[in-house]
Amino acid sequence: MKIATIVGARPNFIKLAPVSKQIRERDIDEVIVHTGQHYNYEMDRIFFDQMGIAAPDYHLGIGSGSHAFQTGEMLKKIEEVLQKEEPDAVIVFGDTNSTLAGGLAAAKLHIKCAHVEAGLRSFDKRMPEEINRVLVDHCSDLLLCPTQTAVDNLKREGIVENVHLTGDVMVDAQKDCERIAQSESHIIESLGLEIGDYYLATVHRASNTDDPQNLRAIAQALLELDDVVFPCHPRAEKCLREFGLWEDVSRKVRVIKPVGYLDMLVLEKNARKIVTDSGGVQKEAYLLGIPCITLRESTEWTETVDDGWNILVPPGEDIASAIREFQPRHERQDVFGKGRANAMIVDLVERLAGPGGS
Q: Which positions are annotated as active-site residues? A: 204
Alpha carbon distance 290, 18 (integer Å): 23
- Each as own residue / partner, the long-range contacts of residues 336-340 (CB below 8 Å, 24 or more positions apart, any chain) are 336/146, 336/147, 336/167, 336/168, 336/170, 336/171, 336/283, 336/286, 336/287, 336/303, 337/146, 337/166, 337/167, 337/168, 337/171, 338/167, 338/171, 339/167, 339/171, 339/172, 339/175, 340/167, 340/172
- Cβ-count burial 66-90 (b if 16+ within 10 Å, e if not): eeeebbebbbebbbebbeebebbbb
Contact present, 66 and 91 (Cβ < 8 Å): no
Name the strands in the sheet holding 29-34, side by side, starting at the edge strand that comes first in the sequence: 58-59, 29-34, 2-7, 89-93, 112-116, 142-145, 163-165
Q: How many CA atoms lie within 13 A of 110 on its CB side?
A: 0
Contact present, 210 and 234 (Cβ < 8 Å): no
Contact present, 93 and 133 (Cβ < 8 Å): no
